[in-house]
């Protein structure tokens, strides 16, 4: 039985003022180590009730209620056929820029500028050019919002479905409303998986990470694909909550995820070079790795 068509919240309901609210929430939970006050206890950074906006809390309530194993499988079937649109990546960035919220007083940067801040920080530190490209495209999956997906199915911390939800996931109490919480299989530690089966055999909650990974899996080296697929999997790369599902190979690859994560969270350069200055480099980089058009 498909419980989702009748029970999902209105897709136009948006508890976040903009998608950037989720990014800002992650920064509150996992601040740049260089800015942490040594007198503040680590546990204080997970005091959600003391720091979160009502919109963020409501976002996670909805996310945790509806991100079920069946929902994920349904959305993979619907969106991973990549039959919604075909366009050059530069048109995709223009498309993505439609997500800018003109009412947000805290930023006048479009999505492209945010991605460039990440990619330029990676490039300035001398990392491989494919990692620079990962920085440029890591949030491109947010175009899902423009294909009709609600916020809670586009951004948010990601986590495995089909097994017990970890109490290390943000707002774990909201999983009480998720039907998988009471399923005799999905509610167990291993669920539908085998111990240390490897994350490639695990279904993650649906969102922009999983979407862009599948879009790029034929074009980038494996470390870059791990960065794309798991950059929002905070309960693992910050809390080590799912070691029982990870293989030795996953642990090796997560060294790359951990390398990428600070660039994703902390690369905010107000003196970013203009697109006119950066364009020749990025056009050549994209042409090196990606086809002229991408399917969305």
Domain boundaries, the chain: 10-295
pLDDT at 35 (0 to 100): 64
The residue ranking higher by pLDDT, 114 or 52, is 114
Q: Counting Cβ atoms within 10 Å, is residue 268 exposed (0-12), middle (13-18) or buried (19+)? A: middle
Q: How many Å apart are CA 44 and CA 29, to the nearest integer?
A: 9
Bridge partner list, 87: 294
Spatial contact of 210 and 158, defined as CB atoms under 8 Å apart: yes
Which range among 43-47, 109-113, 118-122, 150-154 shows the weakest confidence by mean pLDDT? 43-47
pLDDT at 246 (0 to 100): 98
Tell if the pTM clears 0.85, that is, is over it.
yes
Torsion of CA 234, 196, 256, 18, to 10 degrees: -30
- CA distances to 78, 225, 269, 290 from 282, rounded to whole Å, are 31, 19, 18, 12
The mean pLDDT of 38-59, rounded to a whole number, is: 60
The residue ranking higher by pLDDT, 184 or 30, is 184
What SS3 state is found at 275? Answer: helix
pLDDT at 146 (0 to 100): 87
- CA distances to 29, 137, 180, 181, 183 from 93, rounded to whole Å, are 28, 9, 36, 38, 40
SS3 helix, strand, coil % of the chain, rounded to 5? 55, 0, 45
pLDDT-based confidence at residue 267 (cuts at 50, 70, 90): confident
pLDDT at 104 (0 to 100): 36
Which tens digits make up the pLDDT trace of 10-22? 555 689 888 888 8
> What does R_g of the chain's alpha carbons equal in angstroms?
19
Which tens digits make up the pLDDT trace of 77-94? 999 999 999 999 999 888
């Amino acid at each position: 039985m498909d419980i989702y068509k009748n029970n999902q919240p209105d897709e136009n309901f948006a508890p976040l003022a903009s998608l950037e609210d989720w990014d800002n929430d992650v920064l509150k939970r996992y601040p740049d180590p260089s800015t942490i006050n040594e007198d503040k206890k680590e546990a204080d950074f997970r005091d959600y009730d003391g720091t979160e906006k009502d919109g963020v809390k409501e976002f996670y309530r909805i996310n945790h209620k509806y991100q079920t194993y069946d929902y994920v499988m349904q959305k993979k079937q619907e969106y991973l056929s990549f039959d919604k649109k075909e366009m050059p990546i530069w048109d995709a960035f223009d498309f993505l820029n439609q997500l800018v919220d003109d009412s947000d007083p805290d930023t006048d940067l479009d999505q492209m500028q945010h991605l460039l801040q990440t990619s330029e920080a990676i490039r300035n530190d001398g990392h491989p050019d494919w990692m620079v490209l990962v920085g440029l495209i890591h949030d491109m999956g947010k175009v899902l919002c423009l294909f009709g997906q609600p916020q809670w199915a586009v951004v948010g911390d990601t986590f495995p479905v089909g097994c017990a939800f970890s109490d290390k996931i943000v707002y774990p109490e909201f999983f009480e409303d998720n039907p998988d919480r009471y399923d005799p299989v999905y509610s167990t530690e291993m669920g539908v998986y085998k111990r240390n089966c490897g994350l490639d055999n695990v279904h993650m909650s649906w969102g922009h990470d999983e979407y862009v990974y599948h879009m790029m899996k034929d074009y980038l080296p494996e470390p870059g694909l791990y960065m794309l697929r798991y950059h929002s999997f905070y309960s693992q790369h910050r809390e080590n909550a799912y070691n029982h599902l990870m293989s030795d190979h996953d642990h090796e690859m997560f060294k790359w995820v951990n390398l990428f994560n600070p660039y994703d969270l902390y690369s905010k350069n107000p003196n970013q070079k203009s697109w006119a200055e950066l364009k020749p480099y990025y056009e050549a980089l994209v042409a090196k790795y990606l086809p002229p058009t991408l399917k969305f």
